[in-house]
Amino acid sequence: MNPIELPAEPASFPDVAASFMLDGPTGKLEAISDIADPACARGAVAVICHPLTPEGGTMHNKVVTMAERALRESGLDTLRFNFRGAGNSQGVYDKGHGESDDLAAVVEWVRRVRPDDALWLVGFSFGAYVTIHNAARLRADALISIAPPVGRWEFETVVLPTCPWLIVQGEADEVVEPQAVFDWVDTMEHKPELVRMPDTSHFFHRRLMDLRGAIKHAVRDWLPPLRQR
């Protein structure tokens, strides 16, 4: 089967929901953008990263799409993309190293087409690992980490961001040890906002609407001003 042909890299951020390819370090990266309702649109773009590629993670993951919905409903335009080797993105999974470069390339495009907007980074599981490790380097204006895989991946040497930061962790996570996340947060001098969700698994089964509400509630005070219409 021939790969799906998607439109090439846009010269501007699309003003309607769109699928396209962005130029990445090792080939094309598949992306989907969406826009907030103009009546509540804010001056920010959220870049959202998906879970582990070899375990089936893509930008269509239900936690990723729910986080995208929560932020779009909060007034942010959004951009999801597939890391190298996921979906129609070119390249091969690279244990977080190449994926960090993929994220940097996507951020570079967002900043080029939306130079005046704040940049928010959002990640679920492996996507949280990648965004946490790169938030300071990429000068994120806000960070949202859903089920960061503390204990499964190396977090000891990460340069922690100083921007507003939300961590959402299910207390019944069967993939990430919840106490490892809580203990890690306790070591931080400047602690992020931590939302602990009882009876919640790694993939937020039956709790996705609660996740949506938790994100929308937590970020209300971080939102940039409304866009000029």
> Spelled out in words, what is the top-level CATH class assigned to the domain 18-221?
alpha beta
Contact indicator for 11, 113 with CB cutoff of 8 Å: yes
Q: Comparing 2 with 124, which gets the higher pLDDT?
A: 124
Tokens 């937590």 map to which residue? 218
| DSSP letter assigned to residue 153 | B
User: Which pLDDT tens digit goes with each residue over 45-69?
Assistant: 999 999 999 999 999 999 999 999 9
pLDDT grade for 6, boundaries at 50, 70 and 90 = confident
Closest CA to 202 of 127, 152, 148: 148
DSSP alpha helices (H): ranges in the chain?
62-73, 97-113, 126-134, 178-186, 208-219
* 3 pLDDT above the threshold of 50: no
Closest CA to 86 of 44, 41, 53: 53
| pTM, full prediction | 0.96
User: Which pLDDT tens digit goes with each residue over 147-189?
Assistant: 999 999 999 999 999 999 999 999 999 999 999 999 999 999 9
User: Which pLDDT tens digit goes with each residue over 15-40?
Assistant: 999 999 999 999 999 999 999 999 99
pLDDT at 7: 85
Output helix, strand, coil percentages for the chain, rounded to the nearest 5.
30, 25, 45
